[in-house]
Structure 1
Amino acid sequence: MAPCGTFRVALLLINLFSADASVRPDRVGNGGNVITVREGNGGNVITVREDVAVGSAVQNLRDLVDAGTGLTGDEYRSLWSVNITKGNFGRFEVSVENLTLIVAAPLDYETHPRYNLSLELTNTVDKSFWSWNLIIVVVDVPGYPPYYNKRCETPVLNDDGSSDYYIVSSDGYYDVAFNGCPESRYGLFCDKDCVCKNGARCHGYNGACECRPGWRGRACDIPWPEVVIIPSPGDSVVKYIGTNLTLTCVAPLIEVANMTWVDREGNEHNATNVIEEGTIRNSSISFQPISESANGEHTCVVKALDGEMFNATLVLNAVCELNYYGEACSQVCDCQFEMTCYRWEGCLCPPGRHGDKCEHTCAPGTFGLNCSMNCKCQNNAACDAVNGSCICAEGQSGEFCQNVDPNPENNPVVGVHITVLASVLPATFLVGCIVIVILVRRCRLHLDNPVDTEVNLEMETLSSWEVDRDDIRFEHMIGEGEFGHVVRGRLRVPQGYQVLVAAKCIRPDRMTASAVRDFRREMDILARIHEDKEGHPNVVKFYGVLTKSEPQYILVEYASNEELRRYLWSLREQYKITGNSKLLDRLGFAADVASGLSELARLKIVHRDIAARNVVISDRKVAKIADFGLSRDVYVSSAYERTNQGGEEELLPLKWMAVESLRDGVYTCESDVWSYGVLLWEIASFGEEPRYAGGPMHPDVCTLLELLRKGVRLQQPENCPMSVYKIIRSCWVVDPSKRPTPEELLQKIEQMNPQRRHATHLVNHV
């Protein structure tokens, strides 16, 4: 062939693909000519929808034959053949009759979104050839391929014809009920042919294919070497503790050298291997029966003969059957009054009820969860069994029914006492009446202006913490949210030197009642913790407030290392490089927080939001609890879900909240311990965001409560020692009274860190 032929073919290719295509002759010689159409602005790209029918034309190649020979006519085209030599995967072929590139098998965007075809045009007479590359891009089509929905499967018609299928009469009515289609048919009238191959099941409604392991694509005709774990009973069966389960690992289309089962700790399982033709084809592990310890990840690791590694993981999350609980799920709940049966504790009674089945109400004088709290009502007044509010009788008043009407006619019991007292000590009685009148007036004054009185009391408490505006110099913002922000500043303290502070305030344009409430709550709590001006080493240091000008500020110490969560992220990146997990350092942070939490419990202060984002790290690497009120806003994150409580919108950290907080809105020192367990999980996982297996990343209250009821808990983080995970799990007992105290948590953590325990001992004895 002459170079002129090369030019003509190149010119035709430009016309075929695009005027923007870049064409360059790669080789000219006796063996023929090779022309590669280079990609340029999409000129050599042909786009094909993934739902195109088999047999559809992709590209007409007839002009290439004419260009290559310099001749035209069908009698000359028969001298040429076109072959696909590379990148086909069986999806395309060339029709010999009209030399057209056509679709030979169903396409699937997810499996192969792009094909780089190498085509070769050969003269059957002189054996000269032309070759070029062609890029075919598969276009994703919404709703294709059809989804195999197991919930609406239809039965397959038996070979003996025992099952019926649609038969439609001329008037449009069904003569026979629809029970299924023949195996190779689908659709409303069973009039469509299934395309499923290699043993795949065809859906009776939409023709979707359910591929067997080792196959992918719309028709399950694309080989796909993979490792698959098959549970028996199957996926559709809920796994219950106490039942039997077998997991079988198969590796279709892989030349297997060996198979190994490992759990999350990296321990190998005892497996049963089935050997065929000298090669392990599958391997099984059995749980007979399933126990609580079996829950978690089970991974099948496969090594191929060529050394390539494959693996598959199944997460087992077996639960108790409905209405059962206990270690082996053998105890029956039978909760009364539609109470909830929890995985470990059985019937979890709401405030005001107790008993194994919640069958009893609280005894007189007690109230709350498990009826464990004592009423403070006076003068024999009854109290509400749920919240402990006093129910005053006629003639009684006050929060605890402590005030009684001095008129004997209105209160017979008091009348008798007054009569006796008047007969013995008339002067004392007169003085008592005067005192009562004064108290009643003061009480009424308080009731007339409850908000003003509360604010005045707070201001009196905080007056000693007021900072002179001239002593503070603000620098730049370090945190901002929907309702408030935090600014770094320099404060001149009475000792004469300056300290860095974080100044928190409410945005003037978002001065809502809830924001003001949380802001004042944080002021009050910090003042209570720092009554001796020193505070606690594991609670953020409080420097004072600015309340005599707008906006008002809370001034706390500035943490140079930001929050614990971000600090854990930096440790995670270091771990990837060095392999040093710094477990003792992280346990040191956990001990610091437990120590601070112990101080809060001693002062009977409930934090309500113990989490890594609300712990700061000082320049000396000491963890300190912070953010007692405005934390839900200043550090905006996906951890908080917006809810509506009593008509007032609030942000709640659902995944850190205890069961009783989620269900009843109850916050106690025990609920802080639950949250501490989640914080400890964060520390163990290098600051990952918690996610419950079987639930969404951000569950709502109902979804999370249902997961917790079934006994689902955050799983053991990777590289987290079992000893640490046991401490974490101990914080998540549903019964608040059975959770460890902060002091007990501190002791357990320090036992795992001898260096810290020794240092703490030295500090305590200096």
Structure 2
Amino acid sequence: MLEFYLTIEYGRLDFELTPDTQLVCASIHGRALVSPILKEESKWPPDDDWPWIPFYYYNVAWERTEAVFKIIYYDVQVGEGNPNEVECVIKGQTFRIGATVTACPIGRFGRICMERCQCYNGASCHSFNGACKCAPGWIGRHCTIENPEVRISLPSSELTDLRYGQELQLTCTAYKFPLANITWFFENDVSKTEKPPEVKDRNSTHLNISSLLPQYEGHVTCEAVSTSGEKYNDAVDIRIAGCRDNLYGERCDQTCDCTGPATCNRTLGCVCPEGVSGDGCPRPEDADNQFTLLVISLTSSGVVMLLVIVIILLHRQNNRLRVGPIDDPEIFKLGQKMQAVMPRERGPSSSSIDMDMLKEREIDRGRLQIGQLLGEGAFGHVVKATLEQPEEGDVVVAVKKLKDNAETTARTDLLRETCIMLLCGDHDNVIGLKGICFRDGPLQLVLEYAEHGSLLHLLWTLRAESKLNRTVLVNKRHIFENMMVGVCCGLEHLASQRLVHRDIAARNILICGKGTAKIADFGLARDTYAVGYHRQERGNELLPLKWMAPEGLKNEAMFTHKSDVWSFGVLLWEVAQLGRTPYPGMDGADRIYDALRNHFRLPRPQLCTEERYQLMLKCWKFNEKRRPDATTVRKQLEADPNGFFYFNVPTAAVEAAAPVTPV
């Protein structure tokens, strides 16, 4: 949903707007609502109508404003090529209003840009999830930790489509340490060529390559030495695609000027297409006639040989269309990697991943048409894509993959997620695995697409709507009640498969179709979400500490399906608190564990019944054996479908986030 105001200054229209003026508006794409606010009306000026971005921020000149149009888009199109347009007819004249949504305003993020970013020291904030992209020289979740480093910056975002003879400039800059010297190193020997000139500034050096030559290909490293002798380096990879158009030769200094079907080869100059030879490259139809005469003159043995060649080619083509056999080395290698990350809770009976399972789930990368970005982090991203299915019809999917700079832990997480989803099988309340791509490139997961996004984003939207109209909570209560029952059904299925999710939270519940909640094990959520994950003092792994059961906080090997029940209790609290983060101001595994051991629990949200809070407390029993299982929790939810948003609460209840209190 996108809501904004359009001011109409005096003189912009050739007629006067009055309360009697008939106004008819319709959205060009999707649903939209247009509400005019005229100067003659009692609520003028409408300073307080917009709850998040006050009008005074934009210095609206009300004395020169004739009217304001409040426009709400319910189906927002994102991107430069997707304008959100509304067409209005006023006194016989047609006006078109458009807004292009590219990102949230600076300092905001979330589904409707209502969340405040917490990124500092020049960091940028991801509009989707608030993740901070630190400026050079800074690291940390909020980019508040100084990080001595060097960075190579390029004139363009990537070293793509480089050509021989092209000019290239690289800049190496030192951050957060006193610089003594910077030196450039090439992978190949460039001593026989003229050394590229360097221009040095106070904290950086510019390397100017006037003409790219073959010896410049490979890694180019910048090494900086501090005044105390410490070394820092960064590297880029130069790959040259060939000569510029119409040039060839060792230095790309000769001109092709080819005619007819001939093409310019970097080494040979003008060359004819395959199967065509001779001066001037004879036309293809002439070559076809010569080939026909040759076939007619073949002997019987030649015909047999030709048939054998055709059979071999057809066999090879058929093999390309089929997934490789079970002894395929690529499948075997992937199976071995998954065996190494097999979930411990599966037990010794699950000795390996079935090779047939991998064979059936393989998807050719060529069947995927990649679309817009859905989520991005430091090491990976999720994109929307179209999976081509000639027999069943194309389907929209989500593709999750790692970036080239992904750390080993991120690669292990993706392997583990692949393993779990293969073992889990299909269920209505678990996000579906369409297939995997592992041949001719890095591992990719092809997942069911959730068109409504995460439950966390829906809760943020509901919180914003409830500020303007509290009845929306009661009207939408049944939707979120059904979602919680669905999540419980998904947990029952995971428990039956002896699988533990370990990260049940609103951010990992995706909403599909007409409100079906599906558990998604987005291991990349640790990478892409700015809130909810913290590092343990004893390691570098990001963990959802505030959702973890005590046994997990104390010993990561102690996760069971009862641990997921604890996390589900926190999820119920998230829903009742409209997407707020639990235990505000409390960080660190030991601190949270000590609080829980001393009988501290999250307080009862003002937007839920006492019976629903008692169910949360049952999920939060310190001794896991005393917690109910997912089936018991589901039955209690079904028996009491009015636990959320039940009371006619004051607005303060929607605004407030209660502190941690003992029970």
Please state which band the TM-score falls in when normalised by the shorter chain.
Answer: 0.3 to 0.5
What is the TM-score with the length of structure 1 in the denominator? 0.37
For CA contacts below 8 A with separation 6 or more, give which structure has more relative contact order: 2
> Larger C-alpha radius of gyration, 1 or 2?
1
